[in-house]
Amino acid sequence: MTQQLFAGAGSRRGLLRLLAVSAGIWGLSGPIASTALAQGKGAGPTLSQLRIGYQKSAVNLVIVKQQTVLEKRFPNTQIKWIDFPAGPQLLEALAVGSLEFGLTGDSPPVFAQAAGKDLVYVGAEPAKPESSAILVAKDSAIKTLADLKGKKIALQKGSSAHYLLVSAVEKAGLQWTDIQPIYLTPADARAAFERKSVDAWAIWDPFYASTELALSPRVLTTGIGLSSNNSFYLASRGFATDHPEALAVLFEELSRADQFVQQHRSEAIKLIAGFSGLDAGVVSLFLQRRPPSPVGPITPGTVRAQQRVADSFQKLGLIPKPIAVAEIVWSPKTAHLAKAATQ
């Protein structure tokens, strides 16, 4: 049914039908659904600016950006796109009011919530465990996860790679204190890995794919069995509360972008490579590891998985206090109630 809806979205009737289903999936009803459906007429919600944070791995956002669809859907809104090297930096910008919306992996929101940042989970993509890995040099003596003991391992602190490494260390029967984490941005970590000044590197796509093709490292492990590597859309609390209809449009366009990637792979590769400067072969490789990724609401199962991430970091003392992930999960229903209470 989903494919039929996307196929019919080229006409006004098809577009309105897709919007209606999107509103239903997100639990929008009454005034919120009516406003969301109005976007099919090009009206756009009352929103002066929309600043979106993204990374090179944010495939759906990159496609939406390159196709300039939001500029058409929000004709009275100033759309600004801001690139970040990793999730922690993106969420810091979101927390201080420099963004309204962005995408990160599983770990950055945990660190942000523990630090008291005022942001909310608003949507998620399916898990991508094959899109992250721990790499070692092809001639490395490290053969098993247990061999990481005493070794220097590069990673971006607070990133999805952080939880991957935490899980790998636990699976190996080691303590976190048994390894030497070296906190570096992806670019600096790549340089350190090439110089062999670190013994291993925990990283995600497209940096993983780029390194794989350029250096032929050995993959010690991927995230399979260790980390779901969930991707989350987050927003400032004020934006989510005041503009649920805008979120409905965003998620509709992001899911449409995912359909484009699945059905028009060669064109998607060109768009992503043209934007990012990555080689088309790198883009092709990391897209092969990426499952279909339409955007959906935060489910109870996803909350449980994310709570495990939070509990693992708290147990190791990597965040200062326990947190309850569910406390910052937004839903259209609660947003509607909060908005009504202020009117």
CATH number of residue 111's parent domain: 3.40.190.10
Domain stops at, among 204, 222, 240: 222
Question: Could you tell me if 193 and 261 lie in one domain?
Answer: no
User: Measured between alpha carbons, how far is residue 100 from residues 106, 258, 289 in Å?
Assistant: 19, 21, 29
pTM of the model: 0.82
Tokens standing for 70? 């939001």
- Do 122 and 247 belong to one domain? yes
Report the distance separating Cα 251 and Cα 164, nearest Å. 27
Please say which residue of 222, 243, 277 terminates a domain.
222
The single residue listed with the structure tokens 């196929």 is: 7
Domain carrying residue 295: 2-127+230-341
4-8, 80-84, 212-216, 225-229: segment of lowest average pLDDT: 4-8
Pair (247, 108) in one structural domain: yes
Mean pLDDT of 226-247: 94
Same domain, 100 and 148: no
Whether residue 93 sits in one domain with residue 235? yes
Residues ≥6 apart with Cβ < 8 Å to 35: 45, 245
Burial of 221 (0-12, 13-18, 19+ CB in 10 A): buried
CA dist 290 and 282 (Å) reads: 13
Q: Based on the domain organization, do 13 and 121 belong to the same domain? A: yes
107 & 205 share domain: no
Same domain, 216 and 280: no
User: What band does 285 get if pLDDT is binned at 50, 70 and 90?
Assistant: very high
* 117 and 134 share one domain: no
Q: Is residue 37's pLDDT more than 60? A: no
Assess whether 271 and 337 both reside in one domain. yes
Give the chain's domain count.
Answer: 2
Q: Across residues 151-176, what is the average pLDDT?
A: 96
Q: Are residues 246 and 120 in the same domain?
A: yes
Q: Which residues of 258-281 are buried (b: 16+ CB within 10 A; e: fewer)?
A: bbbbbeeeeebbebbbebbebeee
Measured between alpha carbons, how far is 204 from 101 in angstroms, rounded to an integer? 21
Does residue 159 share a domain with residue 13? no
Query: pLDDT for 52-81, tens place per residue?
Result: 999 888 999 999 999 999 999 999 999 999
Give the pLDDT confidence score for residue 334 in this predicted structure: 57
Cα atoms found within 13 Å of the Cα of residue 240, Cβ hemisphere only: 24
